[in-house]
Amino acid sequence: MGLLKKLFQTPLYRRFVILASTGVIGRLWDYDVWVGLAFYRLDELLRENVGSLPSVHCRQTTGSDSEAVKLGKADWSLRGSEKWAHGSGLTRGKCAGWRFTDLQVYIPARRELEADMDFPLVHLHLVPIGYGSENAARYDQVVQVSVRDDHFRKEEDAIGRIIEQLGESLRAPAIFTSVMKVKSLNSFESILREDFMYTGMLDNDLPDERRMKGRWRRLK
């Protein structure tokens, strides 16, 4: 891809937001929950991209002084998950005071994307969301999956099946989808926060896609 094309022709993405509740399934950043409910479904999605290595980025802080927890480099694997997930063989006894911020996975790796001024084929984002105690019974954590649209159209049946099965595994009260352009790597995080969470004001304890700039529609 030429430099000018990279700078001015940003790709379309098929995006999925899967809502989940810690009260129903537990916290997805707990190792047993992550492995039991999410990892293998997401691993199947990532393994569609043979030849590209994903990079894993997890942000956590200590609850007492809000300093970043130094987790070390974690790859996309069960062993890599032990480095950041709470209650694993590596974090048990250390994570009691940790506050989970988010987990992001890029494929290809983010460093490679930044060097090539390119965009990922797939981006995963796990983040807790705080709408308050009344809505926490319905959902207080989100898995966002973004797939570049040209890749999605090649693998639409397989990706659609994985999203549906992941929603069932997480006992999701709702799944939303959209198609939109992404202008930068940071957009994957900001659109979830600003375009979905903040503008999609609540209606009967769930976001109302009609208020989300007309971009989002509900699948479930």
Mean pLDDT of successive 10-residue stretches along the chain, which has 220 residues: 54 93 94 97 81 87 82 90 95 91 92 89 89 63 93 91 96 92 83 69 68 81
d(CA 202, CA 211): 9
- The pLDDT, as a whole number, for residue 130 is 63
**pLDDT per residue as tens digits for the range 106-123:** 999 889 988 888 899 999
Peptide bond into 173 cis (omega under 30): no
Maximum separation of any 2 CA atoms in the chain, in Å: 50
| Domain coordinates in residue numbering, the chain | 11-218
Q: What is the CA radius of gyration of the chain?
A: 17
Contact 216, 178 (CB under 8 A): yes
**pLDDT per residue as tens digits for the range 165-188:** 999 999 999 999 999 888 888 888
CA proximity to 164, closest of 76, 45, 49, 81 = 45
